[in-house]
A and B are shown apart, each in its own frame.
Chain A
Amino acid sequence: MTTRIDNQEDAVSTTTPTRAPHSDVPTGHKDEGKVGAGLFDPKQLLKSLPDAFRKLDPRVMVKSPVMFVVLVGSVLTTVFSFKDPGDWFGWAISAWLWLTVVFANLAEAVAEGRGKAQADTLRKAKTDTVARRLSEDGTSEEQVPGTELRVGDLVVCEAGDIVPGDGDVVEGVASVDESAITGESAPVIRESGGDRSAVTGGTKVLSDRIVIKITTKPGETFIDRMIALVEGAARQKTPNEIALNILLASLTIVFLLAVATLPPFANYAGTHLTMVVLVALLVCLIPTTIGALLSAIGIAGMDRLVQRNVLAMSGRAVEAAGDVSTLLLDKTGTITLGNRQASEFVPVTGTTEAEVADAAQLSSLADETPEGRSIVVLAKEKYGLRERHQGELAGAEWIAFTAQTRMSGVDVDGRKIRKGAAGSVITWVKEQGGTVSTNAEALANRISEAGGTPLLVAVHDGRGARILGVIHLKDVVKDGMRERFDELRRMGIKTIMITGDNPLTAKAIAEEAGVDDFLAEATPEDKMALIKREQAGGKLVAMTGDGTNDAPALAQADVGVAMNTGTSAAKEAGNMVDLDSNPTKLIEIVEIGKQLLITRGALTTFSIANDVAKYFAIIPALFAAVYPGLDKLNIMHLSSPDSAILSAVIFNALIIIALVPLALRGVQYRPVSADKLLRRNLGIYGLGGLVAPFIGIKIIDLLISLIPGIG
């Protein structure tokens, strides 16, 4: 866990970074109940147009088999139109086929364009830096360009310097501004040793002096990888995308056969089909809608993660996120607020609650730990005790909390008040010559059994040394976590809480938070074993981690989200990095993964279902002249054969543009069971896909028939 500077004054959650721009508090999401929508600006279409034309290069197009077929078709119809230049129909079809290809490229270009803007911002951070390299013996410094640094070099950074490359702090401590990468202006502490030693090239040292050991070659730094990722340059097709491409290619071949074998059939029937008509039919039948949008969907999925400040090192990880069936969540910071908090004051027999509260507050004023602060807060909120400041009490001697004494307190007006861990306070009371009532012990045990931590409050005054009461410290589960876990359960995801607490405490918190299972007194080895056990059962596991000892588990997990504040070992091991270092975001990552897959499936279904209507438009148009009975299939009553075919082609092209926003934004995802999701999506994209083109083609035909000379 890490500490950020401004958090140190924050009484309740020193260890939780709470300023994640996309809300750390889960209840914030409940209102939406879905993965948030990305913004889509129609102006982006226009801006990306030049890129769309650049992508017409056949070497690029061949990567999408479906659209490559459309490109070849466009070339063919254009050539045939040149042979018969007086035929408006050939030109119109050719034009719309070219538009189909351009629209597909446009979808991809728009998706990429959104990443480019982010990449530009990152590039600014990557200005050429001059590194102050230390000589081998560490005595002298030399100035070298950042690009000449090698792994293992030691560099010095002082206030105002830009960190020249990725590395670990080996000496010193400094506050660092990482806003260039995280977008977060509050500085963070980086210090040698432990889990807060990693620094990232491009960030700025604000105070103090640190020595950094470079761990990454120039050109392969975190910021370089980020740029490549958001630009889509490093994009590789994911396994599921490849599988879908295979299916689409095979459907394309089937329809290619259906169309290519048509001329001999038609010749026998006594009609001649022109190349233009055949290509038009083919393009309408092959799954162009999904073929055009497939890569845009993938890029947009990664982009949605980037918008949430999560960097996925591979698209594979995003897909895996959709499949996750077990979530390992660290208790602290994810399920509970950072630290234990005082929840009640329990008096022993013979004292009142107010007395305990008063003594507890006084004895905690010198305790700057979060627990201590929470006691003061509770006394104020629940018992109306105004917070007193140390200076207010003249002659008071403050005993600050230390890890050794495990007590804090005050000596004032002849009274000695102490508060602290049960063992320490009992010892103190005995030292002061008092006795410990069995009642106090019983109270303390009761709290322990309920999963809380008892702190004892004792006083030594005129009546001798004795225990006044017990402070009940407990973990406070974040608001809305139970609902969140219920949601996950409905999605079929099991949550396991990981904690270093003893099983008793862990059980109590697990029950309160509503997680399915917990792992208490967890060591890194236990965590690793748990992941392997779940995976052996065929489950995919997601977890977050930040420490070096988390690294093996992060590497083993199917989705390992490393906190950006974590060590470079952790970041290297995980397949995602959360720049906000917000462990709760794992849940959002799962939703984004699911949304990506749903969008692919929905548009594939839509694309295939569309074919039915196109047949009803084109088949009667082609053959009603020789077989008049086939005109009965013209259920849309399209005005003329030419107009019918053209309308189908135009619909086919326009639907791509119409669906670009959906492809970029993603199909709405709600955390419900698979059954409900399927029913909903099948209704919208399956039945919708059947019906929509009938309406769309009819409307386009009506418009076309208004053009003089056609219809």
Chain B
Amino acid sequence: MSPVLAGVLQLLALIAALALAYRPLGDYMARVYSSDKHLRVEKWIYKGIGANPNAQMRWPAYLRGVLAFSAVSVLFLYLLQRVQGHLPGSLGFTAIDPDQAFNTAASFVTNTNWQSYYGEQAMGHVVQTAGLAVQNFVSAAVGMAVAVALVRGFARSRTGELGNFWSDLVRGTVRILLPLSVVAAVVLVACGAIQNFAGIHSVGQFFGGSQQWNGGAVASQEAIKEVGTNGGGYFNANSAHPFENPTPFSNLFEIFLLLVIPFALTRTFGQMVGSIRQGYAILATMVTIWIGFTALMMATEFHHHGPAFDIAGGAMEGKETRFGVGASSIFAVATTLTSTGAVNSFHSSFTGLGGGITMLGMQLGEIAPGGTGSGLYGMLIMAIIAVFIAGLMVGRTPEYLGKKIGTREIKFAACYILITPALVLVFTAAAMALSTPGHSMTNSGAHGFSEILYAYTSGANNNGSAFAGLNADTQWFNSTIGLVMLLGRFVPMVFVLALAGSLAEQKPVPATAGTLRTEKPLFTGLLVGAVLIITGLTYFPALALGPLAEGLAS
């Protein structure tokens, strides 16, 4: 079988699996967030944190919940790393430096999972499981909670109540992420991923010398790493490491895991706003961009010229022979379009244009399908912008899902789309203008620039994957990327929740023949265009000087 055919078949298998899971998972999540009942374990948690899960919150209260919880999480994770030397099961590792501890805390709480450390050389069992793995769950649940709050804003009217943050957070964790992760971990163990609390083994190498192999609860962390679109690997090599991702099947399974919730949330959205077809339209937009990017990536990676490429059947540098060009391309696109940031190959080693595709994928704002929750709300914001412009073209002041997109709504949406480009461009420019940050580059020329552009793109969009090559463990990068991750996560959430509150207060406008039909393919096409033009064009000059300059050089 040719590598191209194998790649295409894997993609088709992936689509089939996602399609099978779409309805049951999407409907289940809608029930989770709409149900009145609390599980017993949930009641214990509410009692423990002293929250009333039945109190309806308006947007400022909901936001306070999000921010307070996340602030406590950052602080806790920071302290845990700082006292690592005194913790049991620390495998002899000492405290993490303040700048790196800040960066890592910000990274895991923001669902980014940017890692400026080497997991196997820095983090013991307690920090990995009680710190990082816990955040893998709750940071994903926070994203889903905010998305659900926005969906409620569309679904509800003449109220301002968006639900209860604590209840959404706990339910997302207990009823969605935990069960999915348990099943996924078992499958991964069956595939050969490790799951133990063993220490570090020193193993003799074939050609002499010795190598250190760490044990750890890898399969369980791997499961939530993908399911929660986190991406922070137990090992530095991430999903390219055989303990994390042993076989081509586990590889495909991991891609499935990182895509399944973001896609299925569109079904949840459709259910909750009372129109499955509206959910399909958003899904279709995400799928169009995802398939388009995957096809482009395969095309660039398979059809790269040169003798070395031809012998290997494509651009194999930095890619695992277990997976090949096809599966690596599918993984790279899925991970950068979902804010996951796990990698099974090194994006720096992709062809110039391939590297550009991973960057553009993140720069779209992680919306196709995006992170758990953040993908849905990001895409809904873009839908509001698209509706605003297209709605005018049908001769009405714009409305989406029966809600008017007026001055207040457009103000919040416009601020939302402003944040990430501002963070990426300003911090990249600062890094390029100052003398020290440049020392972290491994490469010179356009590729070196790509390393830095990629780092801030990944941080601001809460992706977390690295281009490799950049030494990010410096005070400058730890601090600035940490800051960028926090701002890129929580400032947009402020606008999303404010928008949700504003929408929930409105009375709905009934649809007529004069209303823009947002469930039609035409609207999907428009939304794809709006995403590509409005967000894509922002980065065109920067991309031209990095991946495009490199990719078009030959």
Give A227-271 interface residues, CB cut-off 8 Å to B: 239-240, 242-244, 246-247, 249-251, 253-255, 257-269
Candidates A246, A263, A593, A595; contact of B411 at CB < 8 Å: A246
Find out whether the CB atom of B429 lies under 8 angstroms from the CB atom of A678: no
Measured CA separation A633–B549 after assembly (Å): 10
A537 to chain B minimum Cβ distance, whole angstroms, is 6
Find out whether the CB atom of A677 lies under 8 angstroms from the CB atom of B415: no
Candidates A489, A538, A628, A686; contact of B402 at CB < 8 Å: A538
Minimal Cβ-Cβ distance residue in A for B392: A601
Interface residues on B, range: 35 or more
Find out whether the CB atom of A601 lies under 8 angstroms from the CB atom of B529: no
Candidates B513, B520, B545, B548; contact of A265 at CB < 8 Å: B545
Quick one: which of A253, A269, A536, A685 has the most chain B CB within 10 A? Answer: A269
Give B487-544 interface residues, CB cut-off 8 Å to A: 507-510, 512-517, 520, 522-523, 526, 529, 533-534, 537-542, 544
If over half of A's interface residues share one DSSP class (helix, strand or loop), that class is named, otherwise mixed; here it is helix
Known A243-B405, A243-B407, A686-B529; contact A325-B390, beta-carbon cutoff 8 A: no
Minimal Cβ-Cβ distance residue in A for B425: A261
- The yes or no answer to A694 lying at the interface (CB within 8 A) is no
Find out whether the CB atom of B522 lies under 8 angstroms from the CB atom of A682: yes
Candidates B411, B534, B545; contact of A627 at CB < 8 Å: B545
Minimal Cβ-Cβ distance residue in A for B551: A629
Q: Which residues of B contact A491 (CB under 8 A)?
A: 513-514
Measured CA separation A639–B127 after assembly (Å): 61
- The yes or no answer to A681 lying at the interface (CB within 8 A) is yes
The interface on chain A, measured as residues whose beta carbon lies within 8 A of the other chain's beta carbons, has a size of 77
Find out whether the CB atom of B407 lies under 8 angstroms from the CB atom of A242: yes
Find out whether the CB atom of B553 lies under 8 angstroms from the CB atom of A628: yes
Q: Which residues of A contact B391 (CB under 8 A)?
A: 601
- The yes or no answer to A415 lying at the interface (CB within 8 A) is no
Known A265-B449, A265-B541; contact A598-B394, beta-carbon cutoff 8 A: yes
Quick one: which of A244, A267, A674, A678 has the most chain B CB within 10 A? Answer: A674
Find out whether the CB atom of B540 lies under 8 angstroms from the CB atom of A615: yes
Find out whether the CB atom of A633 lies under 8 angstroms from the CB atom of B545: no
A237 to chain B minimum Cβ distance, whole angstroms, is 10
Find out whether the CB atom of A604 lies under 8 angstroms from the CB atom of B389: yes
- The yes or no answer to A532 lying at the interface (CB within 8 A) is no
Q: Which residues of A contact B512 (CB under 8 A)?
A: 325, 492-494
Candidates B390, B508, B538, B544; contact of A601 at CB < 8 Å: B390
Minimal Cβ-Cβ distance residue in A for B394: A674
Quick one: which of A249, A538, A597, A615 has the most chain B CB within 10 A? Answer: A538
- The yes or no answer to B200 lying at the interface (CB within 8 A) is no
Candidates A250, A285, A325; contact of B417 at CB < 8 Å: A250
B522 to chain A minimum Cβ distance, whole angstroms, is 6
Find out whether the CB atom of B510 lies under 8 angstroms from the CB atom of A254: no
Chain A positions 658 through 676: 1 when the CB is less than 8 Å from some CB of chain B, otherwise 0: 0000000000010001110
Chain A positions 609 through 623: 1 when the CB is less than 8 Å from some CB of chain B, otherwise 0: 101100100010001
Q: Which residues of A contact B411 (CB under 8 A)?
A: 243, 246
Measured CA separation A251–B535 after assembly (Å): 10
Measured CA separation A285–B394 after assembly (Å): 26
Chain A positions 624 through 665: 1 when the CB is less than 8 Å from some CB of chain B, otherwise 0: 001111101100000000000000000000000000000000
A145 to chain B minimum Cβ distance, whole angstroms, is 44
Find out whether the CB atom of A257 lies under 8 angstroms from the CB atom of B509: no
Find out whether the CB atom of A269 lies under 8 angstroms from the CB atom of B390: no
- The yes or no answer to A570 lying at the interface (CB within 8 A) is no
Known A247-B385, A247-B388, A492-B515; contact A619-B393, beta-carbon cutoff 8 A: no
Find out whether the CB atom of A247 lies under 8 angstroms from the CB atom of B516: no
Known A239-B407, A629-B551, A682-B522; contact A254-B421, beta-carbon cutoff 8 A: yes
Find out whether the CB atom of B392 lies under 8 angstroms from the CB atom of A597: yes
A428 to chain B minimum Cβ distance, whole angstroms, is 53
Q: Which residues of B contact A633 (CB under 8 A)?
A: 544, 548, 552
Minimal Cβ-Cβ distance residue in B for A319: B397
Pair count A-B, CB < 8 A: 218
Measured CA separation A611–B433 after assembly (Å): 27
Find out whether the CB atom of B396 lies under 8 angstroms from the CB atom of A269: no
- The yes or no answer to A66 lying at the interface (CB within 8 A) is no
Measured CA separation A473–B385 after assembly (Å): 56
- The yes or no answer to B130 lying at the interface (CB within 8 A) is no
Q: Which residues of B contact A269 (CB under 8 A)?
A: 446, 449, 545, 549
- The yes or no answer to B426 lying at the interface (CB within 8 A) is yes
Find out whether the CB atom of B425 lies under 8 angstroms from the CB atom of A629: no
Known A265-B449, A605-B389, A678-B393; contact A619-B513, beta-carbon cutoff 8 A: no
- The yes or no answer to B410 lying at the interface (CB within 8 A) is yes
- The yes or no answer to B428 lying at the interface (CB within 8 A) is yes
Q: Which residues of B contact A669 (CB under 8 A)?
A: 395
Minimal Cβ-Cβ distance residue in B for A619: B544
Q: Which residues of A contact B402 (CB under 8 A)?
A: 538
B395 to chain A minimum Cβ distance, whole angstroms, is 3
- The yes or no answer to A22 lying at the interface (CB within 8 A) is no
Measured CA separation A605–B390 after assembly (Å): 8
Q: Which 6 A-B pairs have the closest CB atoms?
A: A601-B392, A492-B514, A594-B395, A492-B512, A629-B552, A250-B414
Please report A residues at the B interface, Cβ cutoff 8 Å. 239-240, 242-244, 246-247, 249-251, 253-255, 257-269, 281, 285, 319, 322-323, 325, 489-494, 536-539, 593-595, 597-598, 600-602, 604-605, 608-609, 611-612, 615, 619, 623, 626-630, 632-633, 669, 673-675, 677-679, 681-682, 685-686
26 interchain pairs (CB within 8 A)?
A: A240-B392, A247-B385, A250-B415, A253-B422, A258-B538, A263-B429, A268-B449, A269-B446, A325-B512, A490-B513, A538-B508, A538-B510, A539-B509, A597-B392, A597-B397, A598-B392, A604-B392, A605-B389, A623-B544, A626-B549, A627-B552, A628-B553, A674-B516, A674-B517, A677-B395, A682-B526
12 new A-B contacts at CB < 8 Å, known A266-B545, A325-B509, A615-B540: A243-B405, A257-B421, A258-B425, A261-B426, A261-B542, A262-B542, A322-B397, A493-B512, A593-B395, A612-B537, A674-B517, A686-B529
